[in-house]
Amino acid sequence: MTPDLQPPSPALGRVLVVVPTYDERANLPGALERLRACVPAADVLVVDDGSPDGTGQLAEDFAEGDAARHGRTAIHVMHRSGKQGLGTAYVAGFRWGLERDYDVIVEMDADGSHRAEDLPSLLAALDGADLVLGSRWVPGGAVVNWPLSRQLLSRGGNTYTRLALGLPLRDATGGFRAYRAQMLRKLDLADVESHGYCFQVDMAWRVLRAGGTAVEVPITFVERALGESKMSRDIVVEALTKVTVWGAQHRLGQLRSAARRVAGRAPGR
């Protein structure tokens, strides 16, 4: 651990970092090494969707070597059959962690875009919050090696989400975040069907609608150097479509609530 990094407070309890993988053989070892160096007390669950490139077996081998070096099993691997999507991978990881009584569950990418050095800041911000989002679009946040088109897409998508749903968040689509397990237990995870960016928006919105508190801390997002991005047109279309539908339902609900309040104040009632 470098001198400027502080370990998470023991008051947080047990921390689990869920790392979904699909063909991330080139990136996973470096991501796990940095994660174990920056937050050595945390456990890791790699959720591999049957990667054709052997990422799952690589994760098993890395976990075995890490346990031999450190004297405890901190890295676990879940193998799933075939590519089932980011959202279902995270939900499977959440359930795994909740079943084992972890107190904090973190979402983190395997491709190096989420810097392990930023994780202590996310964990520290859980004091008084149910969800902490690593944000690219708050003061102090940054992106590295992104073309202007990707920046505009992300900023535009977040602005649209904020207006459609009334979310008080600058980066609701970001996937580097930490949840308190007690909040995840309040959510109906079986009802979560969204994927990609849409999954991140969905989860943040669920936390806030459940009465939870969410805060954002700045992170530096670094575009992957190896492998292929999982970003696709289908992911963007899903996010746009579902946020639009959710937003319409949300505004309709607000109008109905307002109408009921007005009717309740009408003379003779």
Residue 242 in any domain: the answer is: yes
**Does residue 6 lie within any of the structural domains?**
no
List the domain range (segments joined by +) for residue 172. 11-264
CB 169 within 8 A of CB 162: yes
The predicted-structure confidence for 101-153, as pLDDT tens digits, reads as follows 999 999 999 999 999 999 999 999 999 899 999 999 999 999 998 899 889 98
Q: What local confidence, expressed as pLDDT, does residue 96 receive?
A: 98
Closest CA to 108 of 191, 182, 47: 47
The answer for residues whose C-beta is within 8 angstroms of residue 75's C-beta and 6 or more apart is 32, 36, 43, 44, 46, 59, 62, 63, 66, 67
Helix, strand, coil percentages for the chain (3-state, nearest 5): 45, 15, 40
Tokens 């530096």 belong to 220
Q: What's the rounded Cα separation, in Å, for the pair 100 and 94?
A: 10
In a domain, 176, yes or no: yes
Tally the domains of the chain. Answer: 1
Can you give the CATH number for the domain in which 111 is found? 3.90.550.10
Give the model's pLDDT for residue 150.
87
Intervals of the chain under pLDDT 50: 1-4
- Beta-strand ranges (E) seen in the chain are 15-21, 43-48, 75-79, 104-107, 131-135, 142-144, 177-180, 214-218, 220-222
Q: What is the pTM of this model?
A: 0.87
Is 86 contained in some domain? Answer: yes
**Those residues with Cβ within 8 angstroms of residue 131's Cβ, 6 or more apart along the chain or in another chain:** 177, 178, 179, 180, 183, 203, 204, 207, 212, 213, 214, 215
Per-residue tokens: 245 = 């539908």
pLDDT score for 113: 93
**b or e along 42-70 (b: 16 or more beta carbons within 10 Å of the residue's beta carbon)?**
bbbbbbbbebeeebbebbbebbeebeeee
The reply to whether 131 falls in a domain is: yes
The answer to whether residue 190 is domain-embedded is yes
* 4, part of any domain: no
Burial 224-249 (b: 16+ CB within 10 A, else e): beebeebeeeebeebbbebbeebbee
How many CA atoms does the CB half-sphere of 58 hold within 13 Å? Answer: 20
5 lies in a domain?
no
What's the token pair of residue 83? 């590519």
| DSSP-assigned states of every residue in 194-257 | --HHHHHHHHHHHHHHTT--EEEEE-EEE--SSS-----HHHHHHHHHHHHHHHHHHHHHHHHH
Cβ pair 153, 177 in contact under 8 A? no
State the distance between the two ends of the chain, measured CA to CA, in whole angstroms: 67
Instruction: Give the model's pLDDT for residue 1.
Output: 39
